[in-house]
């Protein structure tokens, strides 16, 4: 693991590493914020999954999260959004909603994607092991959050691992990928045409099948141009109501899909996770 | 004036405009954050001047300033760092420390620069007039801040206009441009070889000549790689001591020249300006 960038911010350290991923079969880069409390002992970890077109840096430079992470003594790990490198196949037309920077946090079963696009296992197995080996962090619990495609990734990670995550949150997540164009394109490409296999990565479907709840918060901008066609929060709201699932859904007038929206409420999300991580 | 971008953030509005600048003889873009208080009446304005290689967006997306501006009810205007456009001459070798994105906030007297590079007048005359005409802002006082080259710009603007600015602050400013390579290159190019003309744009020289003080805060990272060769805060510290000038200088261990440093202390700077703007 190679340190490729380091900056002091809010008395902690914003670090960036390159490492070889066996699961993804390529070199990967991730960022981690270590709050000042990390100098004195293990701190809990919040994983942040970014959206389409992003890499590990968007959240780090634009969300303003470090202030709150330092306040609550939480480390934040921000991975990339897909495997990377010349050997990694991309969408034939370099579309921004499939292939590079659009891994959708699933383990692909279809060729040629399956050789590299194993983002679910990377996020939920390989990367956490690496983080726990390399940094003084709390190992028996974590929290997870994300934006848009990354909100979808956070929701499915928590729903599939309720014993590992103490809380999950999302900004403008793709709530029902089986029922929107982004998700249908990605799942068809990575998983093939059998929709039974898609359910394992659909937050609304997973919630309806869940037997153990993880406290969940979703924030959505009412002026988000993707709201109606791609994000469909009403699907997961309806599922949560049916299951009496602890979903705290908040719609915010005037906010859009950008990091300006995330910056406005990331403090509340980190406080939400801090409450659960400290229990 | 054309609105080209608009986002809600921290209950206020982050706006971006394009307009024709008569002073700079080209189209210009600036950003303005209007806090939620602006809906109910005039708010005071903080001008933010960015550094080499930047445009109006770096501060807007990376500093995390909107939270504090909303808290204190202050608008923040972030202009570009030079004239722009195909007609505007650039450094012959497209160097990053002269020409485009490196206007140094001076009024150039030398050809070919003088046709466009009039950033001092743009920042101190044309842009404030435009802001006051277009937005509900307090007109009889303002504050100014900036980073690196923009820190230099903020310091000289306040030192030359002590009746207009109630406070000035800077992150890692070029404190004595006549005594460093960046400043010497810029002043030679824009102002010619006569060093007597340079003094009108050198913060340390201006402070030594000042007859009226503006409360001044400077924050500097101790691990800033430009500290010794280019920034030279000891020059303005020494001048301030000699003049008994109200300079609050703070050196921060471990911080570098990046926006991670700015993000860590911009809240304190905005609180400093809010205190003076509210008097």
Please give the model's pTM, rounded to 2 decimal places.
0.97
Set of chain A residues whose Cβ sits within 8 Å of the Cβ of B10: 263-264
CB atoms within 10 A of CB A149: 30
Task: Answer yes or no: is pLDDT of B190 > 90.
Answer: yes
In the prediction, which pLDDT does B125 show?
98
A11 touches chain B (CB under 8 A): yes
**Given the residues A72, A116, A152, A257, the one annotated as active site:** A257
Whether residue A256 and residue B14 make contact (CB cut-off 8 A), yes or no, is no
Set of chain A residues whose Cβ sits within 8 Å of the Cβ of B264: 8-11, 66
For chains A and B, count residue pairs whose Cβ atoms are closer than 8 Å: 61
Whether residue A14 and residue B260 make contact (CB cut-off 8 A), yes or no, is yes
In the prediction, which pLDDT does A92 show?
87
Q: In the annotation, is A257 catalytic? A: yes
* Residues 6+ positions from A101 with CB-CB distance below 8 Å: A52, A53, A54, A55, A80, A81, A82
- Is there a contact between A151 and A199 (Cβ–Cβ < 8 Å)? no
> What distance in Å separates residue B76's CA from the closest CA in chain A?
15
Set of chain B residues whose Cβ sits within 8 Å of the Cβ of A222: none
* Residues 6+ positions from B226 with CB-CB distance below 8 Å: B148, B172, B257
Mean pLDDT score, A214-240? 98
Mean pLDDT score, B86-99? 93
Domain housing A87: 2-277
> What distance in Å separates residue A6's CA from the closest CA in chain B?
10
- Is there a contact between A189 and A216 (Cβ–Cβ < 8 Å)? no
Mean pLDDT score, A177-200? 98
Mean pLDDT score, A44-69? 98
Q: In the annotation, is B202 catalytic? A: no
In the prediction, which pLDDT does A169 show?
99
Mean pLDDT score, B203-222? 98
The mean pLDDT value of chain A amounts to 97
Mean pLDDT score, A57-74? 98
Whether residue B8 and residue A67 make contact (CB cut-off 8 A), yes or no, is no
Mean pLDDT score, B118-131? 98
pLDDT digits (tens, 9 = 90+) for A146-170: 999 999 999 999 999 999 999 999 9
**CA separation for the pair B177, B156 (Å, rounded):** 11
Q: Which residue of B has its CA nearest to A33?
A: B260
Task: Answer yes or no: is pLDDT of B153 > 90.
Answer: yes
* Residues 6+ positions from B144 with CB-CB distance below 8 Å: B46, B47, B48, B49, B154, B157, B158, B165, B167, B168, B169
Mean pLDDT score, B54-82? 98
> Would you tell me which residues 34-63 of chain B have a C-beta closer than 8 angstroms to some C-beta of chain A?
61-62
Task: Answer yes or no: is pLDDT of A191 > 90.
Answer: yes
Mean pLDDT score, B77-92? 96
In the prediction, which pLDDT does B214 show?
98
Q: Which residue of A has its CA nearest to B255?
A: A8
B260 touches chain A (CB under 8 A): yes
Task: Answer yes or no: is pLDDT of B92 > 90.
Answer: no
Set of chain A residues whose Cβ sits within 8 Å of the Cβ of B61: 61-62, 259
Set of chain B residues whose Cβ sits within 8 Å of the Cβ of A76: none
Beta-bridged to residue B26, according to DSSP, are B21
Cis bond leading into A112, ω under 30°?
A: yes
Of B14, B255, B267, the CB nearest to A260: B14
Task: Answer yes or no: is pLDDT of A271 > 90.
Answer: yes
Give the whole-number percent of chain B exceeding pLDDT 70: 100
Task: Answer yes or no: is pLDDT of B114 > 90.
Answer: yes
ipTM beyond cut 0.90: yes
**Nearest 5°: CA angle at A41, between A38 and A47?**
50
**Given the residues B21, B50, B148, B157, the one annotated as active site:** B148
Pick the closest to residue B200 from B228, B242, B159, B139 (CA basis).
B159
Of A64, A223, A254, the CB nearest to B67: A64
A81 touches chain B (CB under 8 A): no
**CA separation for the pair B258, A7 (Å, rounded):** 8
Task: Answer yes or no: is pLDDT of A279 > 90.
Answer: no
Q: Which residue of A has its CA nearest to B8?
A: A255
Whether residue B66 and residue A263 make contact (CB cut-off 8 A), yes or no, is yes
Q: In the annotation, is A256 catalytic? A: no
Number of domains chain A is built from: 1
Whether residue A67 and residue B62 make contact (CB cut-off 8 A), yes or no, is no
Whether residue B8 and residue A223 make contact (CB cut-off 8 A), yes or no, is yes
A254 touches chain B (CB under 8 A): yes
Mean pLDDT score, A223-228? 98
In the prediction, which pLDDT does A14 show?
98
Structure tokens at A1: 């693991």
Task: Answer yes or no: is pLDDT of A144 > 90.
Answer: yes
- The enclosing domain of A13 has a CATH number of 3.40.50.1820
> What distance in Å separates residue B66's CA from the closest CA in chain A?
9
What DSSP element (H or E) covers A260?
A: helix A259-277
What DSSP element (H or E) covers A120?
A: helix A119-121
The mean pLDDT value of chain B amounts to 97
pLDDT tier for residue A38 given thresholds of 50, 70 and 90: very high
The two most distant CA atoms of chain A are separated, in Å, by 50
**Given the residues A50, A145, A148, A167, the one annotated as active site:** A148
Mean pLDDT score, A47-58? 98
Task: Answer yes or no: is pLDDT of B279 > 90.
Answer: no
């Amino acid at each position: 693991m190679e340190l490729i960038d380091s900056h002091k911010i809010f008395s902690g350290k914003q670090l960036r590493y390159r490492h070889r991923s066996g699961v993804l079969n390529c070199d990967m880069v991730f960022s981690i914020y270590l709050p000042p409390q990390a100098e004195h002992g293990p701190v809990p970890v919040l994983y942040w999954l970014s959206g389409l077109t992003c890499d590990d840096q968007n959240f780090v430079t634009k969300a303003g999260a470090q202030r709150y992470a330092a306040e609550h003594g939480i480390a934040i790990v921000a991975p990339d959004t897909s495997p990377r490198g010349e050997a990694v196949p991309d969408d034939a037309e370099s579309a921004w909603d499939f292939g590079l920077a659009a891994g959708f946090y699933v383990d692909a079963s279809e060729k040629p994607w399956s050789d590299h696009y194993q983002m679910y296992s990377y996020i939920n197995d390989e990367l956490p092991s690496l983080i726990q080996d390399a940094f003084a962090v709390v190992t028996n619990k974590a929290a997870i959050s994300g934006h848009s495609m990354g909100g979808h990734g956070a929701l499915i990670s928590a729903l599939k691992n309720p014993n590992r995550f103490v809380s999950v949150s999302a900004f403008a997540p793709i709530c029902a990928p089986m029922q929107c164009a982004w998700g249908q394109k990605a799942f068809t490409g990575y998983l093939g045409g059998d929709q039974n296999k898609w359910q394992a990565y659909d937050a609304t479907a997973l919630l309806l099948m869940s037997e153990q709840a993880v406290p969940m918060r979703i924030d959505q901008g009412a002026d988000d141009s993707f709201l109606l066609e791609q994000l469909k929060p009403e699907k997961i709201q309806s599922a949560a109501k049916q299951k009496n699932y602890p979903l705290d859904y908040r719609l915010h007038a005037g906010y859009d899909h950008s990091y300006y929206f995330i910056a406005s409420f990331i403090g509340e999300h980190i406080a939400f996770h801090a409450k659960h991580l400290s229990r």
